[in-house]
Structure 1
Amino acid sequence: MGDRLGYIAFGEDELYARGALFSALRLLHFCPDAKIKVLTDRPKIFSGYPVETIELTAARMREMSFGDRYLFGIKAAGIIQLLQDCDRLFFMDTDMYTVGDISRCFKKISPTHSVMRKCEGRPKKEYRSLAGKGLKLGDQVLTGEEPMWNSGVLGVHSANIPALTDAYHAIERMIGVVKVHTPEQFCIGIALSQGGRSISGHWLPIRNYNTRGRKLFARQRIDAFFQRIGQLGVREQAEQAARYRVWRAPTDLFMQRGIWHF
């Protein structure tokens, strides 16, 4: 079935879909042979681009999010869906974008090894509420002391669909116990570390705008980008995207000096 690069873009804020398209255009510049698939509730945004889309309906999103109880359940279930149509998947959040060739991303992905963005170490104190609850992921009883891997980037082999499915089921049980937004990545990291499997950081030329200040700046820049390139062909758009700056220069940081969280 081959290898795929994937995104999941949904929600009322159009930035997620436009961010995925901007990231995909940069991918197409640095990796012209990339095969890209996007799971999205806004497939029209990707119309006319060499990007395969799978439409997310409102009913499907309710199901994936456990009846709208946990938004990131859509991401966990969506990764499984994307992986069903390929051998290896390299997934990025919509606020991730390449600054160079990442075509070697698949070399480290195997049935026994996955890549994720980074290990964040011990999870937040809210996870201590798992202790003594007997909540399991597979055969492992969770204690809340397990290391947290960041899932903004995830490279995984289709042989691990059962492990990801175990993680998804554990997420549903966990969201009633741990009152934070990260059970999705917590459970995925644990599942992909079980049974002799391992995880490492990706170490690829990928940047992000996943903090408040970065996102505010990137939103303005991405909106302006799509306003100015609408009449260009896909190849020209990809070239423009590769040269287009969405990270902040010192003057931009100064203009955002009133924001506490950069």
Structure 2
Amino acid sequence: MNVSSPVPYITQQLIYLLYGERRIYQLEAKLSILTALARCKPAELPVIRVLTDQPQAFAGWPVEVIALDEQTLQDWAGDGGYTHRRKACAIAQAGQWADKTVFIDTDTVFLQSPQKLFSQVDTGQFLVDEVEMSWAEASRSSYYRSFVEGLAESGEAPADDLRLCNSGVMGFTRDNVGIAERAIVRIDDWTPYARDLHTIEQIAFSFELHSAPINMRAA
């Protein structure tokens, strides 16, 4: 399959995104997949889908490979060229393929069944890896200074209690896939004053999840 072709709709899915020729990401993803398989009873195993421009790397693996071409990766990077915009685009696309989606960074290792993650996701509950800090804390950090100033000038500064979430694990339902689409818009709007940040997509998702009920991963 490729990302432009019809993808079968299912109940729940684990999603991985990796691209480029650095083999370390392939090895990380494979270790993560193996730990997911090891922690699952056969009847509980979710469909695992890998979005990648290196589909041959997963030949023979118990996963569904969704091939990405160069044009798709360029489109997902956007005009601003922010690499991790692709994560938000992958989530927005893949989130339409299942009732429940859990996105997993390749360096995630499962210590419990993936079903623990899916059990924390429903229409009114989102799943994140962890809450790293509040906006009040981030505002005092030199790392975020230019971004904080840019948001203030544009009138977008959030409340101090905004939770900045790590997006290494993200879970949501099909009904809530719009958070990823809105996060993409924020990423594009923020690019002029957030070029020095490597976590713009995490902040964009955090804004979209402000005040929403969230769970943190238990895997």
Class of the TM-score when normalised by the shorter of the 2 chains: 0.7 to 0.9
Cα distance in 2 for partners of 1:174, 1:2 equals: 34
Which structure has more RCO (C-alpha within 8 Å, separation ≥ 6)?
2
| Residue 182 of structure 1: how far off its partner (Å) | 0.8
Is 1:94 the counterpart of 2:114 in the alignment?
no
Counterpart for residue 155 of structure 1: 171
Tell me which stretches of 4 or more aligned residues in structure 1 moved more than 4 Å: none
Is 1:167 the counterpart of 2:216 in the alignment?
no
What is the aligned counterpart of 2:150 among 130, 151, 155? Answer: 130
Cα distance in 2 for partners of 1:64, 1:133 equals: 27
Counterpart for residue 200 of structure 1: 215
Cα distance in 2 for partners of 1:104, 1:200 equals: 11
Percent same amino acid among aligned pairs? 26
Cα distance in 2 for partners of 1:43, 1:70 equals: 23
Number of equivalent positions? 197
Matches within 5 A, 1:180-199: 180-193=197-210, 197-199=212-214
Instruction: Provide closer, same or farther for how the CA distance between residues 133 and 143 of structure 1 changes in structure 2, counting only shifts above 3 A.
Output: farther
Cα distance in 1 for partners of 2:199, 2:107 equals: 17
TM-score, structure 1 as length reference: 0.70
Alignment RMSD: 1.9
Counterpart for residue 54 of structure 2: 42
Q: Which amino acid aligns with 1:125?
A: Y
Cα distance in 1 for partners of 2:119, 2:150 equals: 36
Deviation per CA, 1:98-129, whole angstroms, max 9, x where unpaired?
12323121112112210101111133433312
Q: Which amino acid aligns with 1:130?
A: G
Bigger Rg, structure 1 or 2: 1
Q: Quick check: 1:130–1:143 contact (8 Å CA) kept in 2?
A: no
Counterpart for residue 234 of structure 1: none
Structure 2 residue runs without a partner (length 5+) = 1-9
